[in-house]
């Protein structure tokens, strides 16, 4: 689903939720005319995307059960509309799970940043276990494949399930250190009976996180972006925690970013070569140049064979 399409759906669903929350009785044909879509689209909104809502249909009009009227605030509406519009992102997000969240009025365990998604259909049981552990603040024991070899983790405190650029991760604390674990690599998960208390400061850090890498010793990186591609960096954030520090008269940019590991930013820099370079830390630029020199040498060697 394209980002613009999702935005349109989320907006339409949020408006429908507002109307329902205000005790309006909704006629699908009237809604179709209001939003400029086919009536079948509205029917799908009400019957599929918003299937988790306790709706009743009387004389062709839909309304919210009286017990729920006025219970949703703006943040609730925005959250449920977004979830209903992007169900494909969540391997176990069914009408039943959405209804459970709606009924309990609890915070969702997911944080999504990106538009495409990893297929975790074969890992749905593990995903559901992780959801429960996050929502109930219970410690986890699990195994995951590391370089093809199972590695065991014990008493891990789960904070959030993150979807970063389409890949699912578990944000958690392991032996006092914050880490992210690729859910697709998990082999076995056990939700223990032991509970823990989440650190509010860490929850804020996770909410602001823009990449899977995290370190308590974050690195500030200064980049120089050439004029031919500067407009792309001005239009949107292309590197984690991007800040435009300086725009020169020639159109080039000085951009700062904060990352937890070189791997978080080097693939992006390689993509934008030769229009970008690392100003600081200098050793990172030197390492990148050595890597490029080795690559070019290997290419020349291949041509001579």
| Rounded Cα distance, 113 and 110, in Å | 10
Antiparallel, parallel or unpaired: β 110-113 and 149-164: parallel
pLDDT in tens, 220-246: 899 999 999 999 898 887 887 788 999
Give the three-class secondary structure for 11: helix
pLDDT in tens, 181-217: 888 889 899 999 999 999 988 887 777 665 555 544 5
pLDDT in tens, 83-113: 555 444 444 445 455 555 455 443 456 555 5
104, two tokens: 């309990």
pLDDT in tens, 21-49: 778 899 999 999 999 999 999 998 888 77
CATH entry 2.30.30 includes domain 121-208? yes
Provide the CATH topology of domain 219-304.
Alpha-Beta Plaits (3.30.70)
What is the residue-averaged pLDDT of the chain?
79
| Rounded Cα distance, 17 and 97, in Å | 18
Q: Please state which CATH number belongs to domain 3-104.
A: 1.10.10
Q: Where in the chain is the domain with CATH 2.30.30?
A: 121-208
Q: Where in the chain is the domain with CATH 1.10.10?
A: 3-104
Q: Where in the chain is the domain with CATH 3.30.70?
A: 219-304
Q: Is pLDDT of 53 > 60?
A: yes
Average pLDDT rounded to a whole number, residues 140-166: 86
Q: Where is 130: in which H helix or E strand?
A: helix 124-136
Find all residues with CB under 8 Å of 120, minimum gap 6, and list them.
91, 127, 168, 183, 184
Q: Is pLDDT of 59 > 70?
A: yes
What totals of helices (H) and strands (E) does the chain contain, helices first? 10, 12
- The predicted structure's pLDDT at residue 3: 43
> Are the C-beta atoms of residues 193 and 244 closer than 8 Å to each other?
no
Q: How confident is the model at residue 271 (pLDDT cuts 50, 70, 90)?
A: confident
| Rounded Cα distance, 110 and 129, in Å | 13
Residue 106 burial (C-beta neighbours within 10 Å; 0-12, 13-18, 19+): exposed
- The predicted structure's pLDDT at residue 154: 96
Q: Where is 154: in which H helix or E strand?
A: strand 149-164
Compute and round to an integer the Cα radius of gyration of the chain.
24
- The predicted structure's pLDDT at residue 69: 63
């Amino acid at each position: 689903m394209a980002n613009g399409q999702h935005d349109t759906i989320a907006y339409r669903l949020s408006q429908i939720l507002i109307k329902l929350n205000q005790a309006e009785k909704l006629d699908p044909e009237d809604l179709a005319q209001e939003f400029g879509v086919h009536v079948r689209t509205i029917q799908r909104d009400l019957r599929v995307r918003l299937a988790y809502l306790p709706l009743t249909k009387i004389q062709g009009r839909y309304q919210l059960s009286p017990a729920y009227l006025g219970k949703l605030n703006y943040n609730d509406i925005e959250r449920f509309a977004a979830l209903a519009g992007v169900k494909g992102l969540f391997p176990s997000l069914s009408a039943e799970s959405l209804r459970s969240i709606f009924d309990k009025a609890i915070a969702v365990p997911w944080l999504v940043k990106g538009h495409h998604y990893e297929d975790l259909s074969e890992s749905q049981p593990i995903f559901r276990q992780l959801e429960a552990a996050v929502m109930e603040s219970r410690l986890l024991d699990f195994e995951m494949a590391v370089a093809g070899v199972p590695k065991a983790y014990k008493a891990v405190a789960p904070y959030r399930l993150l979807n970063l650029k389409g890949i699912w991760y578990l944000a958690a604390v392991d032996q006092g250190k914050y880490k992210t674990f690729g859910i697709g690599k998990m082999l076995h998960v056990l939700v223990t009976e032991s509970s823990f208390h989440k650190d509010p400061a860490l929850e804020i850090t996770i909410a602001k996180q823009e990449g899977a890498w995290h370190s308590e010793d974050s690195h500030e990186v200064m980049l120089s972006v050439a004029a031919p591609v500067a407009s792309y960096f001005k239009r949107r954030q292309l590197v984690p925690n991007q800040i435009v520090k300086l725009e020169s008269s020639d159109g080039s940019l000085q951009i700062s970013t904060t990352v937890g590991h070189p791997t978080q930013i080097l693939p992006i820099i390689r993509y934008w070569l030769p229009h970008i370079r690392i100003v600081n830390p200098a050793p990172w630029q030197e390492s990148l140049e050595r890597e490029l020199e080795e690559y070019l040498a290997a290419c020349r060697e291949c041509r001579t064979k």
